[in-house]
């Protein structure tokens, strides 16, 4: 073979192997400042207020849902009202996407920070506000994360529109998020959706982290799990790059094949990101892995004092940097 | 008596074929998995292959299978080994395999880049319940273990064949 042809081929191969920098164009100083501004005290204050709201509300009649006795305490109305009032107090105009369906009526809360240069492109962050018992980890931690991001983003400018969403009745088969995603106009471009479900529990005790066969994991439950599917792979890699670049809390990234619905990947679909995946939209799920780590999962012992405030803050820092990067900012 | 005659005919046929190549095609079903700190790949399914048996002793084979459960995976294997002569013909093979397609991908805190692309491994497979009956071969169990490399991690591969039916041509 001609030497010049060979060298051209080698050049082509090497060019094909070169990857675009994962964080191309990132305002790392701005992202670091944003992550540093996450307020752990405010996060825990929201967790406690939400726990009080869930704890004092009359739960849904579990006979209607065929729950086991252990799960007979699901509430959502007071937490919804609290989430709405907190978003409004931050200056957001809050709308609701309601579906009337008797026992399964749902209401998604929606607030937006409109983008400055690409307002038709949306990055979304959401968490379900229904909970069993006080629901400190599941999912007051996630709701408090959304509220803290709403606070941080309210005073800053971003290229894309940032949407904050509270999902209803996740505990009843993802009812609220399924309906919300089904209502999205096909032409609406969701650049990335970020979903929180249980982001406040950690443990450094050996053996505190469980996994399932085929999923490697640390033995200690002290990392944030960042879960994506193939459609969302680049988003997950960006989260990971931000974690490394900004020295945020350790993360374990899991990427499910295809749309995520492969039988052995089923455990990765148990929250409100799943409807986004099944609709072909990029979504990243952040979690402390819930039942695989937290012994209080879906129990009356899921109380604020069991959470790790530093871990919760760290998880929201990861989310703040990721969401801001995807939104094109801060400017 | 009839059984003895049948056995004699089989043995006669095998002696007559000694020193020859015997080609066969086979269908197989089972599962295979490739495990490393960077990914899990594989599944269960089935496929087809071709085999050359030389001097009724040495096996050379290649097959391709379609696997599901962790997305869609194409498993291509090539192997060489030896079998026992006779009706009861357990075999042992050196097998190289490549998996293409979907995978569960992991980035542990210590790892910075995802493992992507085909998953290679090489290892041993044993087929303890394998029989030659006239122009047909049946294997009811094949167990395999292999090692691979997903830089910078070592990978382990495991396979199980639950049924394989081959016909000579």
pLDDT at A209 over 60: yes
Closest CA relative to residue A215, chosen from B77, B135, B35: B35
Phi, psi of B101 (to 5 degrees): 120, -145
Determine contact: B154 vs chain A, CB below 8 A: no
Average pLDDT of chain A to the nearest whole number: 91
Predicted complex: ipTM over 0.95: no
Name the DSSP letter for residue A54: H
pLDDT at A61 over 90: no
Given an 8 Å threshold on Cβ–Cβ distance, is A216 in contact with B37?
Answer: yes
pLDDT in tens, A235-269: 999 999 999 999 999 999 999 999 999 998 888 99
Instruction: From chain B, pick out residues whose CB is under 8 angstroms from the CB of A216.
Output: 37, 106, 108
From the number of C-beta atoms within 10 Å of its C-beta (0-12, 13-18, 19+), residue A70 rates as: exposed
What confidence score (pLDDT) does residue B9 get? 47
* CB-nearest partner of A240 from B102, B103, B107: B107
DSSP A200-264: S----STT-----TT----SSS-SEEEEEEGGGHHHHHHHHHHHHHHT-S-EEEEEESTTS--GG
Closest residue of chain B to A214, computed from CA coordinates: B40
Cis preceding linkage at A274, omega within 30 = no
Cβ of A37: how many Cβ atoms within 10 Å? 14
Name the DSSP letter for residue B77: E
Average pLDDT of chain B to the nearest whole number: 90
Determine contact: A22 vs chain B, CB below 8 A: no
- CA dist B92 and B95 (Å) reads 9
Note the pTM of the prediction, 2 decimals. Answer: 0.88
pLDDT in tens, A149-164: 999 999 999 999 999 9
Q: Which residue has the higher pLDDT, A120 or A25?
A: A120
Query: With bands split at pLDDT 50, 70 and 90, how would you rate the model's confidence at A6?
Result: very low
Query: Which of B108, B150, B154, B156 to substitute to test the interface with A, most A CBs within 10 Å?
Result: B108
Instruction: From chain B, pick out residues whose CB is under 8 angstroms from the CB of A22.
Output: none
pLDDT in tens, A87-98: 999 999 999 999
């Amino acid at each position: 073979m001609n030497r010049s042809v060979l060298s051209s081929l080698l050049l082509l191969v090497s060019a094909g192997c070169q990857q675009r920098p994962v964080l191309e164009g990132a305002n790392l100083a701005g992202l670091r400042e944003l992550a540093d501004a996450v307020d752990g005290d405010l996060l825990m204050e929201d967790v406690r207020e939400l726990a009080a709201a869930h704890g004092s509300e009359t739960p849904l009649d579990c006979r209607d849902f065929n729950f086991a006795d252990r799960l007979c305490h699901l509430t959502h109305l007071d937490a919804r009202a609290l989430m709405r009032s907190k978003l409004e107090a931050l200056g957001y105009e809050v709308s609701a996407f309601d579906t009337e369906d008797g026992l399964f009526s749902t209401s998604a809360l929606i607030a937006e920070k409109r983008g400055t240069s690409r307002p038709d492109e949306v990055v979304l962050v959401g968490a379900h506000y229904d909970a069993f018992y006080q629901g400190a980890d599941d999912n007051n931690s996630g709701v408090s994360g959304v509220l803290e991001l709403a606070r941080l983003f309210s005073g800053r400018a971003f290229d894309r529109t940032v949407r904050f969403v509270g999902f209803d009745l996740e505990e009843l088969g993802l009812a609220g998020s399924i309906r919300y995603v089904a209502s999205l106009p096909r032409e609406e471009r969701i650049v990335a959706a970020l979903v929180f479900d249980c982001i406040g529990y950690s443990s450094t005790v050996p053996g505190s982290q469980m996994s399932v066969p085929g999923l490697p994991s640390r033995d200690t439950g002290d990392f944030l799990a960042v879960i994506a599917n193939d459609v969302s792979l680049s988003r997950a890699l960006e989260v990971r790059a931000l974690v490394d670049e900004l020295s945020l809390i350790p993360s374990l990234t899991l990427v499910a094949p295809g749309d995520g619905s492969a039988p052995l990947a089923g455990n990765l679909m148990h929250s409100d990101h799943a409807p986004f995946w099944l609709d072909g939209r990029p979504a990243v799920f952040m979690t402390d892995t819930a039942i695989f780590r937290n012994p209080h999962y879906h129990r009356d012992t899921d109380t604020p004092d069991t959470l790790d405030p530093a871990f919760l803050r760290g998880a929201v820092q990861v989310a703040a940097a990721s969401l801001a990067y995807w939104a094109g900012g801060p400017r | 008596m009839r059984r003895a005659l049948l056995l004699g005919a089989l043995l006669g046929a095998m002696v007559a074929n000694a020193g020859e190549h015997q080609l066969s095609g086979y269908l197989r079903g089972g599962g295979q998995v490739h495990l490393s700190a960077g990914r899990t790949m594989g599944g269960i399914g089935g496929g087809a292959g071709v085999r050359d048996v030389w001097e009724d002793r040495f096996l050379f084979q290649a097959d391709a299978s379609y696997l599901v459960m962790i997305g869609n995976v194409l498993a291509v294997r090539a192997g060489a080994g030896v079998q026992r002569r006779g009706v009861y013909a357990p075999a042992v093979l050196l097998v190289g395999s490549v998996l293409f397609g979907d995978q569960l991908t992991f980035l542990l805190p210590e790892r910075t880049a995802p493992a992507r692309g085909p998953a290679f491994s090489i290892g041993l497979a044993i087929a303890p319940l394998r029989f030659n009956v006239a122009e047909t071969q049946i294997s009811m169990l094949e167990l395999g273990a292999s090692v691979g490399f997903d830089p910078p991690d070592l990978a382990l591969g495991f396979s199980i064949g639950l049924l394989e039916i081959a016909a000579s041509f």
